[in-house]
Structure 1
Amino acid sequence: MSPIFPRGLLRELLGVVRLRDEDPLGGHPVSAPPVGAQAVATAREHSRPLHPPRPRSRAAAIRSLKLGLAPAARLLDATALALGLALLTALVHWWARPEILFLLLLGAVSLRLVVAPIVVPAFHPRRVLLTGVVAYALAFSFVTVSRHLTFLTHALDLGYYVQLTWNLAGGRGPRVSLPEMHAWGDHLSPIMYLFVPIFWVAPGPVVLLIAQSVALALGALAVFGIARRRLGDGRPAAAFAVLYLVNPSLHGINVRDFHAAALAIPLLLAAIYGAETRRPWMFVAAALLTLLCREDAALAVVGLGAWLAVGRRRWLPGALTAAAALAVLVVDIRWVIPWYRGAPYPHLGRYAHLGGSLGGILTGALRHPLAVLESVLTGGRLVYLLAMLAPLGFLPLLSPVDLLGALPALAQNLLSGDPILQHHRTQYQAFVLPFLIVAAIAGYARVARRSDRWPAAVLGVAMVASLALASRTVNNFALARWWPATEQRAAYGMLAGVPPAATVSAQDPYVPHLSLRALVFVFPVGIEKSDYVLLNVATYPWRSLPDVTMERDGQTVTIRVSPGREYRYAVAGEAGPHLSLRRLSSS
């Protein structure tokens, strides 16, 4: 039996942590009376004035403290119970945002643990690990699939990857129409070939969403293995696995659609575990698969090589890994992607303030270090770093050598002019998070070597910070979020009426449901070549599309797109606000 917060933080502050209550019957053991000359020596030794035993007064202080805090603990218990019931009712009937109630509940429970630690039974680390992995995979498969069924997924990126994989499975090559192009001309993600056999059997968005949730859950196995090897104890290793599973960045990456970059998280962790356990085949295989996720995943593999060389003093394999990954990055950006695109690599525009090419960006950063530092030390970027480090109790900062692996991907995010890269819940953190986890484990090891009091407390604080920043995830379990409303259910009949071979231009929420076809566009893109147009008339007029107007006359709808383009449609299906239009003519 062990308390969640051993010895209690409040007792730590009072300086009475290590004391125990006296035996109420006899106090301290008394030595046998001295005999003969020994009695004289003993009398001389104790000729000093005697003072009351201090342990007795401290023990009394402990008892009085416990009695004084008991009412506060009972009050916090009642508060937590009330907040828990309120949270359950909000999940069933949305009368308040569940995440707000969850934060209040988390605060009450945290304060309760500080006031009076709760003793819980010891658990076997492997059982905790396996329970966490299964629970995460099931919970996030449910969340992501239910979000899709309630039209909360998007053309980019779920619809994009569904169409890409469907084309690969059909032998049509890596083609997409979001926008219409060769997929390798945008992001190079050959890892999607791994999903082709699954699409032969069960094509569709649900497969990708479940696969992503399971893959991210399996990353906890590598975290546990790394931590157990570093710390020599399965209990903190299981704690780090759980800390990984509740990480807010992991949740954000998982919840918002599907991204090939997300698969790099378990792969990088597997590579690190392979390096830690001296399994070169595992390291090489995981590193190669990481490179297949996206072209910029090479930055993470450069960091992996730097970590292996500097952090583990394995200079040759680390240098070879970093050099090979850097070569892959240069080849992909300068030749491969431009060849498929027919134009230069498009995503360097985020760094135009530093330079127009990969070499120009590096040169610009080296020539103007103060300007780079000034841009990094801005409010938004500092908040981003805080949001990445707080869920790990800032432990990564205690191991700069292990943190080295995150620097290339962190630089990619911090130097970007696009603020989406500096949001802790986006897919751009997939190349950063694994190294932060490893650095946190190393930082914990340092704390544990210096003190046996603080490691558990630091993990407790990290857990609270993780749950607080991940509180938005709770909203996805509300009945209103995952149970399709009447209006949403009505849309499925309209979607079923669209022929599988038809070219479609649809508003964003419909696109992932229509991506198993050669051509699907986000309205009004592709309207000139689309057989069907799908709209939610409740969203009209479209504020983001002021030049697009719609006019209905009975069963005929006219859509005008500036300048001077006009398209006429017949109403093919209508269900609530959902409208399916079949093209008649254009002018």
Structure 2
Amino acid sequence: MLKGLLGRLDQWIARFALVSLRGLIWPFLIAIAAGSGVWMIRHQDQLNQMSQNRLPHDVRVNAVWYTAGALLALFVAHAVVAFVIRLRTGERQSLRATELVNQATACLLGLPFVAAMLTPTLETKRPILVLVFAIIAALCCVPTLMLFGGREPFDEDHDDKERRWDRIEKWLVFALLMAMFAGYALFFSRLAITNHHAIGSRTIDLGYYDNIFYQSIHGRPLACSFLKAESHVSAHFDPILVLLSPLYLLYPRAEMLLVLQSVWLASGVFPAYLIGRKVLDSRLAGLIIAAAFALHPAVHGANMYEFHSLTLIATPLLWALYFLETNNRRGYWITLPILLLIREDVPLLMCFVAAAAILTRKPGYARLGWVTVAVCGVYFAVVKLFIMTSPDLLNAGDESYGFSYYYRDMIPNHKGVQGLALSLLTNPSYTVQHMLAEPKVEYMMKLLVPLGVLPLVAKPGRFMLVYGFIFTLLATRKPVFETGFQYSMLLVPMMVALTPMGIRRLRDGQLPRMLAIEPQKVVVACLGVVLIASLAVSWRFGAIWKNTAFRGGFARITRELDEGQALRYQKIREMADMIEPGAGVTVTNKIGPQVSNRQHVFLYRQKKVKESHYVFLDERDLKGKF
């Protein structure tokens, strides 16, 4: 008898614990989150005080009423759901109703974190905290997203209604993808041109590349009068610019480069979409992966930092990864030469892509991998030994622009590549310490959080990230590990491509069985996390929405010209148009991109004033130099 009583007591306590968790604890937590989140959104002027927990007592009491209101709303929702269940089943299932309401409203747990991201300048003062808030808000939506399972792929046996829906879906997705492409291209073209007209661009680097395009279309491939040896090969070898230079005839000024870069990056949504659709067999997945690329703050930063050949790697690299995923050898071998022509160090990156392909153990990929490595190795050697002005890996030399200072802390004795190798081989603890410095952790979070950290799950494809990690995390020079510069393009395209592969690995692994859920629910939840995290991080760190954190290079961008800026640009254009096309001009850094479309143009510090017919200066560049 005692044993029976104890058994019933055990059952009662277990049920009480379950009811308390589902019917009391979770609703109460959701109500607290929803109430505080709504209060914060409605009282944004007090967010700074709230972030320091210094709200007056009467204000706190007032905020409690928001929580009470949220709790009441949850109670009403529970009653409605319970009533609907009883109508449909004829049974009273209060616990089931509570479970459904909790799951549907779990996303509200992230509301106070989203609201906290509205705190003025928080993204500049505490960026890591904002990134943590973003991923928490996204993860809070997982239970809600689990309610959805996604539609099954189209089947040939579906009836006519299903076929019609599939055709509608196909055209709707196509329209959304084209809108994404056109919207990105137009928005960033306009933004880049506006910033340029506000004198937000510099000779270093927009003026350099504008001059390269001008010189190349006039029969002097990769020539640049600003540089040593009056050629870009003293710094980089990027013959893709020569192939693109005929476009310069359409509008022979720096604005053409800014539009070209924006349209080029915008077109990356197409391979990103195809990768997502192929890997996860879903058009919706493709759209979300494409959106993640277009929303990524690092893509915006590279787009808005002048013009750089390295930025152009993003789209063809995504195409190459798509062709690898689909086993399209012809497409891959067509894309590889385009990638190699973008910059001399791209072959090193592609060796790691090839190694990742080998590690997949797919039939034929071992040969594809080692042939890629061989081709890249030969190309890199030929370029460094016979074309560029320095054969050194870090480009050291009197007639070259060396990059050893990028890695100054890893090369303490100024021994170049040898010193870097010695640091790696003899001081691994310092190497790890150097790579995990707080600014670099922040940088990696900005790259990975918008993608739900899923690229790190994608085995063995994640191996292709190694080169980008080495390039950026070993650096001392800050621009190399900041999202406002072009160097992130060594990582972001691959991270975007790896995101659906990471989701696929979770779907096909042990996670669904461990959680006792359908594999497709894992896909939906992960895609939801990616979309929400991408929107949140782009909102506080990207260029689409105004915030205090975004930088295009070294400075904040100008979104609209004020009256003074418009008048200044008009005067600069009038003066620039007065200069004869064949005249030599000496310029300062701010003025250079306005007149760099000529054969003879020099920076003031080059001391070639005697070779110039005009000197075009901005006094702001001359402070402290007399």
Normalised by the size of structure 2, how large is the TM-score? 0.68
Quote the residue 1:394 is aligned against: 453
Residue of 565, 570, 592 corresponding to 1:489: 570
Q: Any residues of structure 2 matched to 1:520-539 within 5 Å, and which?
A: 520-525=601-606, 526-537=608-619, 539=620
Say if 1:62 and 1:25 are closer, same or farther in 2 by CA, change over 3 A. Answer: closer
Say if 1:360 and 1:316 are closer, same or farther in 2 by CA, change over 3 A. Answer: farther
Quote the residue 1:403 is aligned against: 462
Amino acid of the structure 1 residue aligned with 2:349: A
**Distance in 1 between residues matched to 2:246 and 2:263, nearest whole Å:** 17
Greater relative contact order: 1 or 2 (C-alpha under 8 angstroms, separation 6 or more)? 2
Residue of 170, 176, 190 corresponding to 1:128: 176
Quote the residue 1:459 is aligned against: 530
Q: Is the 8 A contact 1:333 1:345 kept in 2?
A: no
**Distance in 1 between residues matched to 2:239 and 2:564, nearest whole Å:** 35
Residue of 337, 340, 350 corresponding to 2:406: 350
1:413 matched to 2:484: no
Q: Is the 8 A contact 2:356 2:464 kept in 1?
A: yes
Amino acid of the structure 2 residue aligned with 1:173: P
Q: CA deviation at 1:483?
A: 9.5
Say if 1:365 and 1:332 are closer, same or farther in 2 by CA, change over 3 A. Answer: farther
CA deviation string 1:513-540 (max 9, x = no partner) = 1111122223343334332112234x38
Say if 1:25 and 1:163 are closer, same or farther in 2 by CA, change over 3 A. Answer: closer
Amino acid of the structure 1 residue aligned with 2:504: A
**Distance in 2 between residues matched to 1:356 and 1:264, nearest whole Å:** 30
Q: Any residues of structure 2 matched to 1:359-398 within 5 Å, and which?
A: 361-362=420-421, 364-398=423-457
Say if 1:493 and 1:297 are closer, same or farther in 2 by CA, change over 3 A. Answer: same
Greater Rg, structure 1 or structure 2? 1
Q: Any residues of structure 2 matched to 1:16-27 within 5 Å, and which?
A: 21-23=82-84, 26=87
User: Which is strand-richer, 1 or 2?
Assistant: 1
Say if 1:456 and 1:164 are closer, same or farther in 2 by CA, change over 3 A. Answer: closer
Q: CA deviation at 1:243?
A: 0.8
Quote the residue 1:240 is aligned against: 289
**Distance in 2 between residues matched to 1:25 and 1:364, nearest whole Å:** 70
1:321 matched to 2:382: no
Runs of 5+ consecutive residues of structure 1 not aligned to the other structure: 1-9, 31-52, 84-95, 549-587
CA deviation string 1:339-360 (max 9, x = no partner) = 6976467224434534745466
Q: What is the Cα-based RMSD across aligned positions, in Å?
A: 4.3
- 1:176 is paired with a residue whose SS is coil
Amino acid of the structure 2 residue aligned with 1:212: Q
**Distance in 1 between residues matched to 2:417 and 2:345, nearest whole Å:** 12
1:56 matched to 2:94: yes
**Distance in 2 between residues matched to 1:480 and 1:343, nearest whole Å:** 40
CA deviation string 1:409-458 (max 9, x = no partner) = 22012112322111122111112111111221212223444341632442
- 1:410 is paired with a residue whose SS is helix
- 1:178 is paired with a residue whose SS is coil
Residue of 426, 429, 435 corresponding to 2:488: 429
Q: Is the 8 A contact 2:450 2:530 kept in 1?
A: no
CA deviation string 1:178-223 (max 9, x = no partner) = 2242221211011111223223443221222111111111111101
Quote the residue 1:572 is aligned against: none
Q: Is the 8 A contact 1:147 1:482 kept in 2?
A: no
- 2:494 is paired with a residue whose SS is helix
Quote the residue 2:66 is aligned against: none
Deviates more, 1:181-190 or 1:16-25: 16-25
Q: Count the aligned residue pairs.
A: 489
Q: Is the 8 A contact 1:300 1:432 kept in 2?
A: no
Tell me the percent identity. 21
Say if 1:186 and 1:12 are closer, same or farther in 2 by CA, change over 3 A. Answer: farther
CA deviation string 1:99-141 (max 9, x = no partner) = 99xx99x99xx79x97998999x97333322211111111111
1:311 matched to 2:311: no
Quote the residue 1:34 is aligned against: none
Q: Is the 8 A contact 2:224 2:232 kept in 1?
A: yes
Quote the residue 1:197 is aligned against: 246
CA deviation string 1:544-571 (max 9, x = no partner) = x2xx2xxxxxxxxxxxxxxxxxxxxxxx
Deviates more, 1:375-384 or 1:521-530: 521-530
- 2:623 is paired with a residue whose SS is coil
**Distance in 2 between residues matched to 1:459 and 1:504, nearest whole Å:** 50
**Distance in 2 between residues matched to 1:323 and 1:266, nearest whole Å:** 23
Q: CA deviation at 1:385?
A: 1.2
**Distance in 2 between residues matched to 1:300 and 1:130, nearest whole Å:** 30
**Distance in 2 between residues matched to 1:481 and 1:398, nearest whole Å:** 47
- 1:189 is paired with a residue whose SS is coil
Runs of 5+ consecutive residues of structure 2 not aligned to the other structure: 1-25, 31-73, 149-167, 392-396, 513-520, 547-556
CA deviation string 1:249-308 (max 9, x = no partner) = 100011111111111110111111111222222111211111111111122211221121
**Distance in 2 between residues matched to 1:319 and 1:65, nearest whole Å:** 50
Normalised by the size of structure 1, how large is the TM-score? 0.72
**Distance in 2 between residues matched to 1:362 and 1:323, nearest whole Å:** 23
CA deviation string 1:363-399 (max 9, x = no partner) = 5423432332221121122121111111211111212
- 1:175 is paired with a residue whose SS is coil
Q: Is the 8 A contact 2:320 2:332 kept in 1?
A: yes
